Structure 1
Amino acid sequence: MPVKVLIVDDSSFFRNQIKAILEANPQIKVVGEASNGREAIDKTKLLKPDIITMDYEMPLMDGITSVRHIMNETPTPILMFSSLTLKGARVTLDALEAGAVDFLPKSYEKVSGSNSSLRQILVQKILTLTKPAVKMPSAAPANLQEKASVVKPKSAKAKTYAQRFEIVMIGTSTGGPVALQKVLTQLPANYPVPILLIQHMPGTFTGAFAERLNNLCNISVQEAKDGDSLKPGTAYLAPGGQQMILSQKGKLKVMAGEERLNYKPSVDLTFGSAVKYYGRNVLAIVLTGMGADGREGARLLKSVGAAVWAQEGSTCVIDGMPSAVVKANLADEIIPLEDVSQRMKSVV
């Protein structure tokens, strides 16, 4: 049965282009269109789509307000289209906080281009975000591997570690902005070690995201720059479109990286760079996300005795990345999102 899509955009050009892209795939069917947020709410109730593509700037009601209403009244996965501008980045973050599950940058050139990579990415996201595994909110916990310990809120026998952690690294993708906000806002200003954040996100978005986190958190959060010296109580967000690695203990290198790497930034690359300088004294955490980025970096860290945690699947938007770590038998603990920050405080 094809995936049912509702397209919401005030531009008939964009609606027609998106429809043509989606309906070229036999697994997808566009069941309706809306030209404003108010109409989107009504058509969601009437048509019951599997997923909605949502513009932001529209007459009568904007996209974020519409997302809030839909998620309250008829919860449905929503994919936002946002412009590659600072305003677009801030709007996207607001939309994700309102309940949208993911976003795509939007431009006339990309949507109208005959060989645009956006076409492939859009179809892939639509199909992935409508799989039963996508959580909106959490469902019953999945069957977890035996070697990993599932930490529950009032667990009396939480795992203990012999090493002294000197750095925390967190990798994430789809669902990550909201997950990182939930984790980092619960940490104290005097958190004793630096934190590296690797979030799959375009370069025009990471500056706004770091700014938002810094305003919300007790710890300091900044977009990483080449040559940064790491400080306790500070989180460094890898810039979108670039790679962030450790060049020595306590020192960051930000660079373009190799074209062959699928992700910029790459969780695998950042995780792997810590092996030489921090060895077993690394706590690496893989949160919600599509794909398997982070698994091979976690494997390298485990080979030197570092600790690796994975977010518990039922609390992920998409548990691809955490699940890849768990299935590879690399997770020391599998932790519900709401308990990650408490565990970070208790072991570091």
Structure 2
Amino acid sequence: MAIRVLVVDDSSFFRRRVSEIINSESRMEVVGVATNGKEAVEKAIEIKPDVITMDIEMPIMDGITAVKKIMAQSPVPILMFSSLTHEGAKATLDALDAGALDFLPKKFEDIARNRDEAVSLLQQRVLQIANKRTSLRRPISQPRTAVQKPATSTRPAGGANVAAKPKEQTRGRFRSSGKSYKLTAIGTSTGGPVALQKILTKLPANYPHPIVLIQHMPATFTSAFASRLNSLCKIEVKEAQDGDILRPGVAYLAPGGKQMMFDGRPGSTKLKVIDGGDKMNYKPCVDVTFGSAAKIFSDKVLSMILTGMGADGREGARMLKSAGATIWAQDEESCVVYGMPQAVAKAGISSEDLPLDRIAERMLVEVGLT
């Protein structure tokens, strides 16, 4: 049976364009359209679509409010369309908080080199999130209150070395592997903004080493996303800049459109942020950052691959594993898209597959904070 899609947008041109793309894929069909959020809520209940594509700025009821109501009354996978502006980024992140699973820029030329590539990307995204209709997550309930951070830091310089035998656990109590670390590295894509927020908001201000975050995201989004995370987390979160000196308890988000690498040695490492490169599929790219981490930090890296489409991170994780580092993967059930974690798990690179809601707990045990 074809995936049934409801298209929501106040622009008749955009509704028609999206509908044509979806209907050109035999596995999908548009079963309804709506011109505002109020109509979307009503039709979500009436026709029970498998997926909804949703604009953000609409009359009568905006897309964010509509997402909240739909997820409360008749949960369904929702793909947001957003403008590539700072305000558009903030609104999109609000929509993801409200329960939307993914987003795409409204201007397809911003994400694809030609029409065929744009058509394929939209179709893939709808097909991917449709698979989550039987296991939708609840909207994030994290209060939107800024966290007061200490004026000074007394974080230790390195990870604790707790003597214990390594053991993979996804239920019950975790045990530390006994390894020590100098860096935490996290790579993710589709579903990543929500996953990163759930993990990072659980980390204490005295997290013992730096964290680098590689999230597939447009350039105009990463600044807004880093600012949002910083307001919610006890640790400091910032968009990475070329020349940043790595500090314990600070998370550095790779800028969209760029590549993030490392320069120096453990204990005195700087970030090197360079142009993304025309030949690179991902900007930022998890493989690039993980590979650089393997060269500088060797076995002192605690790394993980979270939800995302494709296989970015697999080769970088392979380099980390060869250097003796630790690699974990998010488990299939808690992923929005089980692509990147599956690539690492199937290759035998990850040592543990973890549910999203327990990754922060596992991290704190591993670095000796619990």
Residue 319 (structure 2) aligned to one of 300, 304, 310: 300
Any idea what the Cα deviations from partners look like across 1:17-71, whole Å, max 9, x if unmatched?
1112222222221111000111101111111111110001111111011101111
Q: Distance in 1 between matches of 2:278 and 2:58?
A: 37
What's the counterpart of residue 99 of structure 2?
99
The structural deviation recorded for 1:118 is 2.7
What's the counterpart of residue 194 of structure 1?
210
The letter of the residue matching 1:212 is: R
Moved more, 118-127 or 128-137: 128-137
Q: Distance in 2 between matches of 1:149 and 1:344?
A: 13
The letter of the residue matching 2:302 is: L
Q: Is 2:136 the partner of 1:136?
A: yes
Q: Is the 8 A contact 1:67 1:100 kept in 2?
A: yes
Q: Is the 8 A contact 1:201 1:240 kept in 2?
A: yes
What's the counterpart of residue 284 of structure 2?
265
Q: CA 1:97–1:60 in 2, change beyond 3 Å: closer, same or farther?
A: same
Q: Is the 8 A contact 1:135 1:316 kept in 2?
A: no
The structural deviation recorded for 1:323 is 1.4
The letter of the residue matching 1:303 is: S
Q: CA 1:321–1:114 in 2, change beyond 3 Å: closer, same or farther?
A: closer
The letter of the residue matching 1:12 is: S
What's the counterpart of residue 272 of structure 2?
253
Moved more, 37-46 or 15-24: 15-24
Q: Distance in 2 between matches of 1:182 and 1:273?
A: 26
* Structure 1 unaligned residues grouped into runs of 5+: 139-146
What's the counterpart of residue 309 of structure 1?
328
Q: Distance in 2 between matches of 1:294 and 1:347?
A: 21
What's the counterpart of residue 345 of structure 2?
326
**Correspondences of 1:198-217 after superposition (within 5 Å):** 198-217=214-233
Q: Distance in 2 between matches of 1:240 and 1:201?
A: 6
Q: SS in structure 2 opposite 1:72?
A: helix
Q: Is 2:296 the partner of 1:280?
A: no
Q: Is 2:68 the partner of 1:74?
A: no
Q: Is the 8 A contact 1:135 1:318 kept in 2?
A: no
Any idea what the Cα deviations from partners look like across 1:158-199, whole Å, max 9, x if unmatched?
343343101000011111111111110111111110000000
The structural deviation recorded for 1:257 is 3.4
Q: Distance in 2 between matches of 1:116 and 1:314?
A: 31
Q: Is 2:310 the partner of 1:291?
A: yes
Q: Distance in 2 between matches of 1:109 and 1:339?
A: 38
Q: CA 1:109–1:277 in 2, change beyond 3 Å: closer, same or farther?
A: closer
The letter of the residue matching 2:220 is: T
* Structure 2 unaligned residues grouped into runs of 5+: 139-165
The letter of the residue matching 1:69 is: K
What's the counterpart of residue 147 of structure 2?
none
Q: Is 2:237 the partner of 1:221?
A: yes
Q: Distance in 2 between matches of 1:169 and 1:235?
A: 9
The letter of the residue matching 1:33 is: V
Q: SS in structure 2 opposite 1:285?
A: strand
Number of residue pairs the alignment of both structures matches: 336
Q: Is 2:33 the partner of 1:33?
A: yes
Residue 172 (structure 1) aligned to one of 188, 200, 203: 188
Any idea what the Cα deviations from partners look like across 1:101-157, whole Å, max 9, x if unmatched?
00001138769x98364322111111222136984139xxxxxxxx982322x32xx
Q: Distance in 2 between matches of 1:164 and 1:174?
A: 30
Q: SS in structure 2 opposite 1:49?
A: coil
Q: CA 1:134–1:331 in 2, change beyond 3 Å: closer, same or farther?
A: farther
Q: Is the 8 A contact 1:134 1:318 kept in 2?
A: no
Any idea what the Cα deviations from partners look like across 1:238-278, whole Å, max 9, x if unmatched?
00111111122321111113322211111111111011111
What's the counterpart of residue 143 of structure 1?
none
RMSD of aligned residue pairs (Cα, Å): 2.1
Identity of aligned pairs, percent? Answer: 54
Q: Is 2:45 the partner of 1:45?
A: yes
